[in-house]
Amino acid sequence: MMNLQKKKLYTLLALVALFVILFICNMLLSPYHMRIINLVGINIALVVSLNLTNGFCGVFSLGHAGFMAVGAYVAAILSLPLVKKAIILPELPKWLGSVELSFLPSLIIGGLVAAICALIIGYPVLRLRGHYLAVATLGFLVVIQVVITQLQDFTRGARGINGLTQYTNTWWVWIFTCITIYVVWRIINSAYGRGMMAIREDDLAAEAMGVNLTKYRLLAFCVGAFFAGIGGALWAHLITVVTPLSFSYDRTFSLVVMSVIGGMSSITGGVVGASLMTLVPELLRNLEVGITVGGISIPPLYGISQIVLSVVLIIVIIVRPKGIVGSREFSWNLFKKKKWNTMNQMEN
């Protein structure tokens, strides 16, 4: 075992290294590549927060994209410059039409509104279990899309809100990613996380040991929604457009796939899953165009990336049904003992 001081130092060094690398990337790489790096960061945060709800607490939610949508729209409406707002959303009520918040408060309010939505729908829905809960949260996703499409005065309906300022940059994304990981790590290494895992293992026994099911489930659900809301808002201000279709089934399922591939009840799993499933499709996309390697030219193979990805998914699920990382967790001891530690042995 390494001592705590040393681990803290290593973690700090790793963080500094990460941001130095990002800084260098920012200078050297093209906007296209930086966009991918930013999407990796956002996806990591989204999947790690999804893992808290789905993996650690066992509340299998398919509503993550719904919370992203809420966060994205709220932040977009709040941060839209007044001039544009008057043109794009003339029907907004006065108090909203005359507000232009800077990015940080917009993000936080976006996250909070998403968390409040989670609280409201969570209270009745979290009494359900397993498939029923998954279907109910999927229902929430549908409701959110319908509401967004119909609330024309606030959202411009199906046309979406465009012309958002591109506030989101590498720093916003990766600081948010680090905060998300830190908060989730703190939660799972506290009484709250243990209570959540106990609920996942056996909810009756957890309740019989004094764990308040509703409270802990709601907590996991709302924290997940909060980060999903901010993630959605960051995403919106990266792409600069939000439409009801930005956050549909596709997005929920791709997040769930990332989570399952990496390992649902592990932060490390979330990071690995999100990184792989964001990067690999982008790499494969290059194949579709067709490349010439050493005189041998490969013709364009349209759709090959999706086929390869699907095959990889099937293989991973067969070979490692609990995900690439499983429920293990990264630890600095790894380098010393050459052995993975289960997360429960991690020190606080």
Partner 1 sequence: MASSILEVDKVTKYFRGLKAVSDYSLTLEKGVIAGLIGPNGAGKTTVFNLLTGVFTPTSGTIRLHQQDIAGQRLDQIVSLGMARTFQNLRLFTKLTVLDNVLVAAQINKDYGFWAAIAGLPSFKKGEKDLRERASALLEDMGLLHLADELSGNLPYGDQRKLEIARALATGPRVLLLDEPAAGMNPRESQELTETIRIIRDKYDLTILLIEHDMHVVMNLCDNIQVLSYGEIIAEGKPADIRSNQQVIEAYLGRAAANA
Q: List interacting residues with partner 1 (CB under 8 A).
A: 183, 186-187, 190-192, 194-195, 197-198, 201-202, 204-213, 219, 327, 342, 344-345, 348
- How many C-beta neighbours within 10 Å does residue 257 have? 17
Task: Tell me how far, at minimum, the Cβ of 194 lies from partner 1, in Å.
Answer: 5
Complex with partner 1: residue 113 or 184, whichever CB lies closer = 184
For residue 178, the minimal CB distance to partner 1 (Å) is 14
- Shortest CB 327 distance to partner 1, Å: 7
Minimum Å distance from CB 107 to partner 1? 18
Report d(CA 242, CA 266) in Å as an integer: 31
| C-beta of 23 vs 182, nearer to partner 1 | 182
Q: How far is the CB of 11 from partner 1 (least distance, A)?
A: 13
Q: Report whether 107 contacts 192 (CB < 8 A).
A: no
Q: Which residue, 22 or 181, has its beta carbon nearer to partner 1?
A: 181
> Rounded to the nearest whole angstrom, what is the least distance from the CB of residue 190 to partner 1 in the complex?
4
CB contact at 8 A, 341 and 328: yes
Tokens of 40: 């990796």
Cβ atoms of 222 and 228 closer than 8 Å: no
Please identify, using beta-carbon distances, which residue of 153 and 203 lies nearer to partner 1. Answer: 203
Radius of gyration of the chain (CA): 21
Give me the DSSP letters along 246-283. Answer: GGSHHHHHHHHHHHHHH-TT-HHHHHHHHHHHHHHHHH
Nearer to partner 1, 245 or 346 (CB): 346
Return the closest-CA partner of residue 68 out of 88, 47, 90, 46: 46
Closer residue to partner 1 (CB): 286 or 345: 345
Closer residue to partner 1, CB minimum distance, 205 or 307: 205
Shortest distance in whole angstroms from residue 58 CB to partner 1: 11
Distance between first and last Cα of the chain: 13
DSSP conformation letters of 122-186 = HHHHTTS-HHHHHHHHHHHHHHHHHHHHH-HHHH-GGG-EE-------HHHHHHHHHHHHHHHHH
Q: Which residues touch 111 (CB under 8 Å, ≥6 apart)?
A: 71, 226, 227, 229, 230, 233
Q: For residue 176, report the phi and psi dihedrals to the nearest 5 degrees.
A: -60, -45
- Closest approach, Cβ 212 to partner 1, in A, equals 5
φ, ψ dihedrals at 93, nearest 5°: -60, 155
67, 114 in Cβ contact below 8 A? yes
What are phi and psi for residue 341, nearest 5 degrees?
Answer: -105, 140
Determine the Cα–Cα distance for residues 324 and 345; give it in Å rounded to an integer: 20
Shortest distance (Å) from residue 211 CB to partner 1: 6
User: In the complex with partner 1, which residue's Cβ is closer, 160 or 224?
Assistant: 224
Rounded to 5 degrees, what are φ and ψ at 297?
-105, 130
**Residue closer to partner 1 (CB basis): 98 or 345:** 345
